[in-house]
Structure 1
Amino acid sequence: MSLVELIGFLALTGAAAYIQTLTGFAFGLITMGGVGLTGVLSLPDAAMIVSVLTFVNASQMLLKGWREVAWRQFRLVMLTSLPMIFVGYGMLEWLYGTRADLLRLILGLVIIASSLQLALKPEPLARRSSDGSFLFFGTIGGFMGGLFSTAGPPLVYHFYRQPMPQVMVRETLVSIFALNAVFRTSLVTFSGNLPSLSTLTGLLAIPVVIGATHAARRWPPPISPATMRRVVFVLLFLSGVSLGAPAVIHMLKAL
């Protein structure tokens, strides 16, 4: 990355970490959407760096919040999530090598669907869902985590419907994202697909993510959670459309 690209990437990850700390998810979506639009990194390299930065953000949040984790639901999700990371990562490698436009379209659709989910806050359930439902959503989250380091949307939808305190939901989700990030990073490392040294300069975002996470906890914005959700919805929706539309046009021209 050039100096200008690096500065832009640092600003993007800082904003994503700030929003993630406030909402419980969106770090991967915002970062991957920004990378897809600007092209400063390849999607596989960006997903690798997002995994590392997700772990940094999650670790910082869990220093005080780990006691609130719903460990039973955490274990159920991880039981199916970890194996599916292999599947998602394998699809990323295959699509990036043969169908890059399709990969960008999929990422755009994921971001659009996630933004709509954020806008339409799910109604809470009267009773906690069955163990099987956590296994099911863990499967989807693991696949998306392996594909784009964006395991959040299906898991956020399911967890925020549960009759559980919000702090427990948030810390459980962060714990899941942290372990997924460790597992995915290890998978990339052992497969020998580490980014180049120039790309790894993106890891300079680590102190930026730490600072943004602290700032979000110390100085949250003077707006309501509902307003924050609307702002994030608009940003994600526009980035998803901007990412997916050119891919569709390019694919149609190739027919």
Structure 2
Amino acid sequence: MPLTLGITFFPLLCFVAAYVQTVTGFAFGLVLMGVIALTGLVPLPEAAVVISLLTLVNALMVLARGWRDIARRPFLLSLAGGIPLVALGYAALLVVASLSLSALRLTLGLVIILSSLQLMRRPAPRRELSPHWSFAAFGGIGGLMGGLFSTAGPPLVYHFYRQPLPLVTIRETLVAVFAFNALFRLSLVAVSGEWDNHVMVWALAGLPGVAGATYLARRWPPPLSPFAQRRLAFALLFLSGVSLVIPVLWP
């Protein structure tokens, strides 16, 4: 896709991803990374940086009013398990990206397919809050995925949506965890010297879409049940994952 057309299209893509993220508390990275991989807008390692930057923008807008709803202990436990594995995931991304673009696309496609299948299920609610270690464990899996592709959502979403917590608490806590994971991932990119200045061009191009969608979704949420929203979003994600995998397996 030509650069000018890509930058024109990118704000719309960011709008859709941020709208889904604000309404449900997740899916921003999956939606963006899936479409970017399909269209070739940006190399995947650079796309992960752009997604981390825009995740912070969305989180700042969401948490400006919602930070009081964060479940502090689950939040801290998820970060404790996730932050170390963000570094491991990022190191794995650099290795895979240097070896094979096809392997990178296949890995991302499989991650998206498995995530969409898992997230389309309605998690069975628990009567009591899960044990502390479980938040650290699911946070670790999310951190690994966040380090790889800035897509930390699926394992954390599955675990949090099973908890006997208000929906707003789940949503704000997830957004906060994703924000801190993204911030740590950006620091790794900066320290490793892999930061390319033109990622800021893409981040600035996507900023209006993220800001506009976040405001609209908070002010006028869609007239669909949360379950219906999730089903629609992840049906589309499943198709994008399949579209990434098929050309690699059957060229």
TM-score over 0.5 for the pair = yes
**SS at 2:207's partner residue?**
helix
Question: 1:120 Cα shift?
Answer: 0.7
Scaled by the length of structure 1, the TM-score of the pair is: 0.94
- Distance in 2, matches of 1:237 and 1:72, equals 32
Equivalence for 1:55: 56
Question: 1:89 Cα shift?
Answer: 0.3
Equivalence for 2:182: 181
Equivalence for 2:84: 83
Equivalence for 1:253: none
Once the two structures are superposed, the pairs formed by residues 31-180 of structure 1 within 5 Å of their partners are 31-180=32-181
Question: 1:196 Cα shift?
Answer: 4.3
- The change in CA–CA distance for 1:80 and 1:226 in structure 2 (over 3 A counts) is closer
- Distance in 1, matches of 2:197 and 2:244, equals 25
- Distance in 2, matches of 1:151 and 1:192, equals 23
1:200-230 CA distances to partner (integer Å, 9 max, x unpaired)? 3111211220111001111222333232222
Gaps of 5+ in 2: none
1:118-158 CA distances to partner (integer Å, 9 max, x unpaired)? 21111101111111111111110110000000100000000
Question: 1:68 Cα shift?
Answer: 0.8
- The change in CA–CA distance for 1:222 and 1:165 in structure 2 (over 3 A counts) is closer
The answer to whether the 8 Å contact 1:51/1:181 transfers is: yes
- Distance in 2, matches of 1:224 and 1:173, equals 19
Q: Once the two structures are aligned, what percentage of the paired residues are identical?
A: 53
**SS at 2:250's partner residue?**
helix
Gaps of 5+ in 1: 251-255
**SS at 2:125's partner residue?**
coil
Equivalence for 2:201: 201
- Distance in 2, matches of 1:221 and 1:74, equals 27
1:85-130 CA distances to partner (integer Å, 9 max, x unpaired)? 1100001000011022121111111111121122111110111111
The residue identity in structure 1 corresponding to 2:180 is L
The answer to whether the 8 Å contact 2:11/2:208 transfers is: no
**SS at 1:126's partner residue?**
coil
- Please identify runs of 4+ aligned residues in structure 1 that moved more than 3 A: none
- Distance in 1, matches of 2:162 and 2:224, equals 23
The answer to whether the 8 Å contact 1:105/1:243 transfers is: yes
Question: 1:195 Cα shift?
Answer: 2.3
- Distance in 1, matches of 2:83 and 2:40, equals 29
**SS at 2:233's partner residue?**
helix
1:10-48 CA distances to partner (integer Å, 9 max, x unpaired)? 111110001111111000000000010001100000000
- Distance in 1, matches of 2:165 and 2:146, equals 24
The answer to whether the 8 Å contact 2:96/2:104 transfers is: yes
- Distance in 2, matches of 1:19 and 1:83, equals 28
The answer to whether the 8 Å contact 1:101/1:248 transfers is: no
Equivalence for 2:192: 191
The residue identity in structure 2 corresponding to 1:200 is M
CA RMSD of aligned residues (A): 1.2
Question: 1:245 Cα shift?
Answer: 1.2
Equivalence for 2:23: 22
> Aligned residues, how many?
249
